[in-house]
Amino acid sequence: MKWQEIPTPCYVVDEKKLKQNLKILQNLEQKTGCHVLLAQKAFSMFSLYPLIGQYISGTTASGIFEARLGKEEMGKENHVFAPAYKEKDMEELVQICDHVIFNSFAQYEKYQHYFLQQECTASAGIRVNPECSTQEGHEIYDPCGPGSRLGVVKSEFPDQLPEGIEGLHFHTLCEQNADDLITTWHAFEEKFGSYLKQVKWLNLGGGHHITRADYQLDELKKLICEIRRKYNVRVYLEPGEAIALNAGYLVTEVMDIVHNGMDILILDASAACHMPDVLEMPYRPPLKDGYLPGEKPHTCRLSSMTCLAGDVIGDYSFAQKKQVGDRLVFEDMAIYSMVKNNTFNGMPLPGIAVLREDGDVEMIKEFGYEDFKGRLS
């Protein structure tokens, strides 16, 4: 299929760019001995799991469904963390996961008996809260903010870890560089470093923008090697965005143009339904051949076909005036897009495709009315 033949709206993952990211992560594993895991909450396009599994160690999940997906579709290391677990899920998780990470000692004690059984191969860990926030803005994504429910603070830690706890985990970052991880590490080490003598592994969580052009990769490598040397623990990282950063697009068509003080383009893609982080975070998604308002001759607002008045993607300017039927291509749309989309207003879900290295587009999945109806009753 040619690019211009793609049915809209459609997510398109760029195989070449995905591989470029994966090679950086593979090199990180090779140079430091760490284990890199795909955080499926950011990117769960499982048709590409066999490819991803050629470069990194495995997957990490936020619950039973993602854990099953990682086990079934990649079949390598498989970890899970959730703020709480249901009994019926734990029975399966200890069989399909290599690491099960708990958010409280009470949760671990509830399920401790599983991990003390001789035949259990899953390793249990505790998520800690270093109480060190390095984020600016978007508090919704800050796990170290005041009153956070995520991770155990130092005042709640016992002197001796309970029997069966083999690892510690922290996740404090969001789209950040190695300097913020180093800051977090120092805070963690000061409060929890003594516990590393009691465990076998340390998980540094996600939010590491490792494949970004300006990422301080050498600093990350030094830190990982220092942790391994000083504490003799296995080190894990769980990047989500870094796997498919800048490796995906959302292709959409201009359906109509209305005017109210400015030209407003009605697209068949929606911020609320197809890229919810635009409204939730919020942020302005990059657009191919799109510029800041006023930077080019023709400025217009990009909106959607939903009835939500605030379903606005943003204001952009273009060198040429846009017409009904034109196509727009939003960039960096592989991550936190297809995993978070919805069918509000009966909006069709975008298709999912892969741009192969030879330039051909392969349609992986198209959605229709039955997908909308099947979620309801």
CATH number, position 176: 3.20.20.10
∠ Cα 219 282 347 (to 5°): 120
pLDDT digits (tens, 9 = 90+) for 221-249: 999 999 999 999 999 999 999 999 999 99
Shared domain check, 284 and 226: no
Predicted confidence band at 104 (pLDDT cuts at 50, 70, 90)?
very high
Q: Is residue 18 part of a domain?
A: no
HEC profile of 225-286:
HHHHHHHCCEEEECCCHHHHCCCEEEEEEEEEEEECCCEEEEECCCHHHHCCHHHHCCCCCC
Q: Check if the beta carbon of residue 171 is closer than 8 Å to that of residue 129.
A: no
pLDDT of residue 374: 95
Q: Residue 370: give the domain boundaries.
A: 3-11+248-333+341-374
Q: What is the mean pLDDT of residues 327-349?
A: 97
Beta bridge partners of 58: 37, 77
- Provide, rounded to the nearest whole percent, the portion of the chain with pLDDT above 70: 100
Residue 361 is predicted with a pLDDT of 97
Domain assignment present for residue 21? The answer is no
How many domains would you assign to the chain?
2
Check whether 143 has a pLDDT greater than 80: yes
Predicted confidence (pLDDT) per residue in 350-370, tens digit: 999 999 999 999 999 999 999
**Residues belonging to the chain:** 377
Q: Rg for the chain (alpha carbons), in Å?
A: 22
Judged against a pLDDT cut of 80, whether residue 137 lies above it is answered with: no
Average pLDDT over residues 290-308: 97
Give me the helices (H) in the chain, please.
15-32, 49-52, 64-73, 87-96, 105-115, 178-192, 217-231, 241-244, 271-274, 277-280, 369-374
Q: 286: Cβ–Cβ under 8 A, 6 or more apart, which residues?
A: 330, 331, 332
Task: Return phi, psi of residue 363, to 5°.
Answer: -80, 120
pLDDT for the residue 179: 95
- Please list, residue by residue across 275-285, b when 16 or more beta carbons sit within 10 angstroms of its beta carbon and e when fewer do: bbbbbeeeeeb
Geometric angle at alpha carbon 52, from 51 and 55, rounded to 5° = 105
- Lowest-pLDDT range, 99-103, 138-142, 206-210, 334-338? 138-142
Is the confidence at residue 270, as pLDDT, over 90? yes
Per-residue pLDDT at 221: 98
Return the closest-CA partner of residue 65 out of 37, 38, 96. Answer: 96
For residue 140, what pLDDT is reported?
85
Three-state DSSP class for 69?
A: helix
Q: How far is it, in rounded angstroms, from Cα 31 to Cα 23? A: 12
In a domain, 252, yes or no: yes
Cβ neighbours, 10 Å, residue 154: 15
Domain final position from 201, 226, 244: 244
> What integer pLDDT is reported at residue 139 of this predicted model?
80
pLDDT at 35 over 90: yes
Same domain, 352 and 233: no
pLDDT at 349: 98
Tokens 């035949």 found at: 119
- Please give the average per-residue pLDDT across 84-106, as a whole number: 97
Statement: residue 138 has pLDDT above 80: no
Instruction: Decide if 27 is inside a domain.
Output: no
CB atoms within 10 A of CB 50: 11
Average the pLDDT over 171-178 and give the result: 93
Mean pLDDT over 126-144 rounds to 88
Do residues 273 and 148 share a domain?
Answer: no
Residue range 43-92, pLDDT digits in tens: 999 999 999 999 999 999 999 999 999 999 999 999 999 999 999 999 99
H helix or E strand, kind and range, residue 169: strand 165-169
Q: What is the DSSP letter of 121?
A: -
pTM, to two decimals: 0.95
Residue 130 forms part of a structural domain:
yes
Same domain for 284 and 162: no
Position 203 pLDDT exceeds 90 = yes
**Residue 135 has what pLDDT?**
82
Question: Which of 226, 244, 262 represents a domain boundary (last residue)?
Answer: 244
Give me the amino acid identity at 179.
Answer: D
Cα–Cα distances (Å) from 107 to 112, 133, 136, 143, 273, in that order, read 8, 25, 31, 19, 34
pLDDT tier for residue 136 given thresholds of 50, 70 and 90: confident
Q: Of 244, 271, 297, which residue is a domain's last?
A: 244
